[in-house]
Amino acid sequence: MSKQYDIETLLDGIITLPSLPHVVERVDELLGDPDRSLGEVGKVIATDPSIALKTLRLVNSAYYGLQNRVTSVEHAVALLGAKVIKNLVLTATVFDTFKTTTSQMLRHSVACGTAMGVLARRHTPPLAVTTEEAFVFGLLHDIGKIIIEEFLPQECAEARALCVAQRMPEYQAERIILGIDHAELGSRLAVKWKLPPAIIEAIAGHHDLAKCQDPSMLGFAATLCIADYICVASGFSASESAIALVPDSLWSAVSFTSLDIPDVLDAFFGSLSSLDELASVAGAEA
């Protein structure tokens, strides 16, 4: 069995959490300023060839069905709008940052973002996020898995083997092999990237609500766990060793139960038309 670590030892000597790409910070800054225009956002995106290409690919995709091909990044940004652009920039850069990302992980993350959007609307009262904002929760929830795979490949393989051998969720196997899990690592990255507290807390607690530092954020974390469960149970798992599990304690933190899942699944599958488009735009084979 591999050596167990505490989080600080990992971050001090083994894992280097990446900085958020400058273009993402700049786009987020511009979108948060009511005095700045989408034209300015388009100019910033145009300076990054990879994101510019993905912006054009999305706006010209079958999902939007435009009759005339868009060739200008500024025009594409104006057509897509602020909320879509914010998600696109984050989606397009997060998975470029980690070179070991698999297409399976990418599709799982995009699917989880879709499921989170469906669940956020059905929560009573609705969670205080838009569908587009809820998508980011799902997109980033397993970013810690990518970190483990990139920096600790041997331990990652051992954890997945343990999952298969003992039929346990990956986060439990990670704790046995490493001493920490992907949720803890992912929340640390979200802190470094200065993401909203709700996203940080949801990532940290999406397998264990006790990891949430702010009780007011429990609904976000519990809903994210259920979104993850829906994706794994529906065939959109992050890896072959993934097991769908929602601890009983999480159901009490949301306003729906397992009996509501069939209706949620109908809405989820009805929202999947953009999954392959978004996965493709992000740079993976769908």
Q: What confidence tens digit (pLDDT) does each residue in 111-130 have? A: 999 899 889 887 777 778 88
CB 135 within 8 A of CB 113: yes
Between CA 20 and CA 173 the distance in angstroms is 29
State the average pLDDT over residues 258-277.
81
Residue 15 predicted with pLDDT over 70: yes
* Burial of 45 (C-beta count, 10 Å sphere; 0-12/13-18/19+): buried
Residue 204 predicted with pLDDT over 70: yes
Distant-in-sequence contacts of 262-271, Cβ < 8 A, 24+ apart: 264/115, 264/118, 264/119, 264/122, 264/230, 265/230, 265/234, 267/118, 267/122, 268/114, 268/115, 268/118, 268/230, 268/234, 269/234, 271/114, 271/117, 271/118
Q: Helix H segments across 32-140?
A: 38-46, 49-59, 73-80, 82-97, 103-122, 131-140
Domains of the chain: 21-93 (no CATH), 98-286 (1.10.3210.10)
Which of the residue ranges 21-30, 54-63, 155-164 would you say has the lowest mean pLDDT? 54-63
- Peptide bond preceding 169: is omega within 30 degrees of 0, i.e. cis? no
- The token duo for 132 is 């587009």
State the average pLDDT over residues 79-99.
80
CB 2 within 8 A of CB 158: yes
Best mean pLDDT range from 41-55, 61-75, 260-274: 41-55
- The token duo for 188 is 């640390």
**pLDDT confidence band for 284 (50 / 70 / 90):** very low
Please name the residues in contact with 72: beta carbons below 8 A apart, sequence gap of 6 or more: 42
Between CA 147 and CA 143 the distance in angstroms is 7
pTM score of the predicted model = 0.85
- The token duo for 231 is 């994706």
CB 41 within 8 A of CB 58: no
pLDDT digits (tens, 9 = 90+) for 2-11: 677 888 888 8
3-state secondary structure of 280: helix
Between CA 162 and CA 147 the distance in angstroms is 19
Which of the residue ranges 96-100, 142-146, 232-236 would you say has the lowest mean pLDDT? 96-100
Between CA 173 and CA 190 the distance in angstroms is 22
